[in-house]
Structure 1
Amino acid sequence: MAFSLVRVPLLSLVAAFFVNADIQLDCGPDAVTLVWTESGSQRDLWLLRLGSCGPSAVSSGEAVFSVAFSECNFRRKVTKDELEYSNDLTYPSFENTKTTFSHPVACSFERPIAWSPPQYHPASLQTYGQGDLRFRMELMNDRFSGPAPSRAFVLGALIPIKASVAQDKHQPLLLLLDECVATPTQSLWTDSDVYHIITNHGCLVDSRVSRSRFEPRSHSSEIGLSLQAFRFAVAKEVYIHCTLTAWDPNALDQNRKACHQVGDRWELLDDSSASAVCGCCDTSCSSRRTRSTSGT
């Protein structure tokens, strides 16, 4: 098989929770401060998570989160009259560390009269391949019928991305997105921030906190991804780096798959009845060396 690395350039909180704790929420215009107080508990409060972030500080019986809405995978919803930022406060169960209890956190504001959505600018695409197959990745229009008319996207909009492999006379192959990350720089190998989109050999982890999803296939040699545009770092341009794998369509397993969340469960794109292979997406999927068409 072959693989390729491709670069594509409110104020409300319900106090009830799963433990007897006091929660105070202070919503600022660009950030939120949440204070969790649980007197007399032996719970390790460093395990609390607000979205993807741990506490900013922990003292005896108290955990404090002070984070910007642009961090921690906050979700933003804009209506005609309201601007809302929401997230989930979670903690692992004592009985099963793979299970978490969660509680919604939301900050709502009156939508500013002059507010307009900022723009998202993916950079141009560059493709690098290994083996005898030719891989390609490009931004598409909203029907996936042709190239995108613009590289600027409104935050929250879905960005259509299509990857493909030219099989020529090769045996039929199924194209998969193995790993994808976003960076504010063109180089993946710098110390810049990284936002994980696809991990664990094909798990679209961004679909847990957004409307991002894989699209139904029209050809096995193509895969479509609708990625919800997000605020990342302070960059005006965002580069998306992906590892692509061309694989045997009849040999999908935990290492070779395309999984996204549908509702509250993981679903396998190519056969929902075999979604058990997605069961490792919330933990760690095993890894195995990829065999390329060149024999290396």
Structure 2
Amino acid sequence: MASFWQCALLLSLASAVAVFADMKLDCGPDFMTLVWTESRPQADTSLLRLGSCFPTSFSAREAYFYVDLTDCNFRRVVTGDALFYTNDLSYVPAPGSHNLAFTHPVVCAYERPKDWYPSIYDPVFKTYGLGDLLFNIGLMNDDFSGPAESTRFPLGSIIPIMASVDQKTHQPLLLLLDECVAATTPELHPESTMYPIISNKGCLLESMTSRTKFEPRQKSSEIRLSLQTFKFALGEEVFIHCKLLAWDPNGLDSTKKACHYVKGRGWELLDNLAHNSLCDCCESKCKSRRQRSIASGKHGMVQKAVLGPLTITDVNS
């Protein structure tokens, strides 16, 4: 990122916060510094957090952060010619304090290089609690041997997508795509126009009417999807929003699965054809007999990812 044009977007503070504090943000090539200055005498600057990071140093009135953009749960979004790294500066007062809690957006923006494209090896997000799991998702070339060289795909062509989880010393986990939708925005809103790809707890709906399919697994911690392009937002930027689920491979059921439709044979389970019955609910409603909490981390962890932007082009235009 050293060659990027660097700038910072300082979003306005809520009026109640702006009266009492000042923030200075400096976005470097692959790091950022932030200085938060308080005027409230009772405010405890050690309680400020930038994403998941504590202040690098603090005094009675100031909190100072010096962090890499790959740390602190920064979110990366590419749109048009810009690359954004976003996070939240938050303050949770101690019990009994009269100071108010707040969350303030922090954004670093850079010019997107002409030859930049998403890479499977750059983390889309990072989460903690299960052996420091690190999830990745990206566009791949035709044989899944490396990152795609373009983000433009003619209508009817195949978009190779691979997701993976780095489980480090954690027990082996199976990576699943719980849900994926296409949208024209990097964030989903109630009014967003969406195109469903995977829904109903791992059912690849798009495989029913196209050449879309899950590819055979190379390892349990990866999942590969060959997605045939579809008539949605032709010529516009498209973002694919997915929920990635890392789960105990011995704990699959009708809500923890990867199913695709094979012409002439029906719904098939990617990982074990002997248990295709787990896919029987794909045209109705998939639900588990036992209610298990994903958030507890007992069996696995789910995280959201955004892939894009990519563009589907109309070959006839």
TM-score by length of 1: 0.56
Corresponding letter in the other structure for 1:290: I
- Mapping 1:105-254, distance limit 5 Å: 127-131=124-128, 132-234=132-234, 236-254=236-254
| Identity in percent | 54
Residues 108-143 of structure 1 deviation map (CA, whole Å, 9 limit, x = unaligned):
xxxxxxxxxxxxxxx958723443311000000000
Aligned-partner Cα distance in 1 for 2:139–2:233: 21
Aligned-partner Cα distance in 2 for 1:212–1:292: 33
Tell me how large the CA RMSD over aligned residues is. 2.5
Does the C-alpha gap of structure 1 residues 292 and 127 become closer, same or farther in structure 2, counting only changes over 3 Å?
A: farther
Question: In the alignment, is the contact (CA less than 8 A) between 1:8 and 1:241 conserved in 2?
Answer: no
The residue that corresponds to 2:275 in the other structure is: 274
Aligned-partner Cα distance in 1 for 2:77–2:139: 8
- Mapping 1:68-107, distance limit 5 Å: none
Aligned-partner Cα distance in 1 for 2:255–2:125: 22
Residues 51-104 of structure 1 deviation map (CA, whole Å, 9 limit, x = unaligned):
xxxxxxxxxxxxxxxxxxxxxxxxxxxxxxxxxxxxxxxxxxxxxxxxxxxxxx
Once structures 1 and 2 are overlaid, which stretch shifts more, 233-242 or 252-261?
233-242
The residue that corresponds to 1:293 in the other structure is: 297
Aligned-partner Cα distance in 1 for 2:219–2:273: 17
The residue that corresponds to 1:16 in the other structure is: none
- Mapping 1:250-269, distance limit 5 Å: 250-264=250-264, 265-269=266-270
Aligned-partner Cα distance in 1 for 2:77–2:182: 9
Does the C-alpha gap of structure 1 residues 198 and 262 become closer, same or farther in structure 2, counting only changes over 3 Å?
A: same
Question: In the alignment, is the contact (CA less than 8 A) between 1:174 and 1:249 conserved in 2?
Answer: yes
The residue that corresponds to 2:42 in the other structure is: none
Q: Determine which structure has greater relative contact order: mean sequence separation of CA pairs < 8 Å that are 6+ residues apart, divided by chain length.
A: 1
Question: In the alignment, is the contact (CA less than 8 A) between 2:137 and 2:164 conserved in 1?
Answer: yes
Structure 2 residue matching 1:274: 3-state secondary structure: helix
Corresponding letter in the other structure for 1:273: A
Corresponding letter in the other structure for 1:221: S
TM-score by length of 2: 0.52
Question: In the alignment, is the contact (CA less than 8 A) between 1:198 and 1:204 conserved in 2?
Answer: yes
Structure 2 residue runs of 5 or longer lacking an equivalent are 1-74, 79-116, 302-317
Structure possessing the higher radius of gyration over alpha carbons: 2
Aligned-partner Cα distance in 2 for 1:239–1:276: 32
Aligned-partner Cα distance in 2 for 1:273–1:263: 18
Corresponding letter in the other structure for 2:287: S
Aligned-partner Cα distance in 2 for 1:272–1:227: 21
Aligned-partner Cα distance in 1 for 2:226–2:76: 16
The residue that corresponds to 2:284 in the other structure is: 283
Moved runs in structure 1, 4+ residues, more than 4 A?
Answer: 6-9, 123-126
Does the C-alpha gap of structure 1 residues 140 and 234 become closer, same or farther in structure 2, counting only changes over 3 Å?
A: closer
Structure 2 residue matching 1:176: 3-state secondary structure: strand
Does the C-alpha gap of structure 1 residues 159 and 8 become closer, same or farther in structure 2, counting only changes over 3 Å?
A: farther
The residue that corresponds to 1:36 in the other structure is: none
Shift of 1:250: 1.4
